[in-house]
Structure 1
């Protein structure tokens, strides 16, 4: 493949990197908003991610144009398939961050006692951000990245995230028993926290996609 093809690949990669940076920035802002119970910061998160769907469509269109113009061979085809699937995962993560910010802002006004869960929620949130940062670190240094090592690091964060979510789930279910009148609100809190858990699952999918692009084999998504 010629220079123009590689220019397009780098162009798409750069767009994906920018999208990932925006999602991480919004995710970190939502973490700060939760720490300080700042409704304005939660609103900023939604503003930051308002156009991610359109950005995702633009990236997908660039990938499709590259298919049409260059008819890539097998190894190049893997990267283009990866970009398409990766965009979908990133848009889902960004959408989850946006919903998390909106809902956590609402929970603070609902009468739920979230304070006892705060240390675990902060750790849960940090692990989801760490997983995304590993992805970005590898993606922006694609030539030198050790894809298998990156996958393992993301998997460690996802495992920690799963354990934290399980602990929070038990604690919140106990709270539902103690405060039956707020049971629906606590169930909603649990649903919001699941957005952080799903973010880590999707990061594992992206790390796996990156390994597939580089090494071949089969695409296996974490469910």
Structure 2
């Protein structure tokens, strides 16, 4: 393909990497705001994610323009389709991160005692961030990225994330039994933490799409 096409692909990758950086940064700020509780930290995390939908739309528009301008061949078309699907997953991770920061800010001001859960919540959050960081590393240097290696690392984090979330479910159920009057609030906390667990699942979806873009075949092979 032409130099203009390659430059356009680099531009799209850069836009995706920038979007991922904003989400990883906001998620890290939310984690740092959990212990000790920092309302200003949660506010900053939310501000970082104010325009993720607009950023996602910008990336999708650039991909569509590339379709129209260059009429890419099969292998390039596969990559563009994968990027288009990735953008959707990344924006939804960003939306989940934003909801998590907003809700955790509210939970920190409620009567719920999150201290017994703090260590497990931190582990869940760190695992989610790690999966996202692997994806970001790959996008920043796609030529040197060993996608199979990163795919395995992301799958390890997702498996770890599922195990930690199962532990959290049991811990929260114990609190619900012990503090029945606060059970509605603890149920909300569990729903908030599911945003982290779901973000890690979406990281696997992105890794699947990266494998598809690199190796081809059927998308179902990587699910």
Q: TM-score, normalised by structure 2?
A: 0.97
Aligned partners of 2:54 and 2:86: how far apart in 1?
15
Equivalent position of 1:175 in the other structure? 175
Equivalent position of 2:153 in the other structure? 153
Equivalent position of 1:25 in the other structure? 25
Figure out how many residues of one structure are paired with residues of the other and give that number. 223
> Is residue 78 from structure 1 mapped to residue 78 from structure 2 by the alignment?
yes
**Gapped runs of 5+ residues in structure 1?**
none
Equivalent position of 2:63 in the other structure? 63
Q: Where does 1:60-209 land on structure 2 (aligned, <5 Å)?
A: 60-209=60-209
Shift of 1:146: 1.1
Preserved contact between residue 131 and residue 203 of structure 1 (Cα < 8 Å) = yes
Q: Residue by residue, what CA displacement relative to the aligned partner does 1:16-67 show, whole Å, maximum 9, x if unpaired?
A: 0111111111110000011220011101111110000001000000000001
Shift of 1:78: 1.0
Quickly say closer, same or farther: Cα 1:152–1:144, change in 2 above 3 A: same
Q: Residue by residue, what CA displacement relative to the aligned partner does 1:59-100 show, whole Å, maximum 9, x if unpaired?
A: 000000001111111100111011111111110111111100
Shift of 1:222: 8.6
Aligned partners of 1:13 and 1:204: how far apart in 2?
18
Equivalent position of 1:39 in the other structure? 39
Equivalent position of 1:14 in the other structure? 14
Task: Give the RMSD, CA atoms, in angstroms.
Answer: 1.2
Q: Residue by residue, what CA displacement relative to the aligned partner does 1:156-190 show, whole Å, maximum 9, x if unpaired?
A: 00000000000000110111111111111000000
Aligned partners of 2:221 and 2:101: how far apart in 1?
26
Aligned partners of 2:34 and 2:143: how far apart in 1?
37
Aligned partners of 2:23 and 2:107: how far apart in 1?
22
Structure 1 runs (4+) deviating above 4 angstroms are none
Aligned partners of 1:145 and 1:212: how far apart in 2?
14
SS of the residue aligned with 2:22? helix
Aligned partners of 1:79 and 1:136: how far apart in 2?
17
Aligned partners of 2:101 and 2:209: how far apart in 1?
27
Quickly say closer, same or farther: Cα 1:168–1:222, change in 2 above 3 A: farther
Shift of 1:205: 0.7
SS of the residue aligned with 2:219? coil
Preserved contact between residue 211 and residue 222 of structure 2 (Cα < 8 Å) = no
Aligned partners of 2:200 and 2:25: how far apart in 1?
16
Shift of 1:221: 9.2
Preserved contact between residue 26 and residue 49 of structure 1 (Cα < 8 Å) = yes
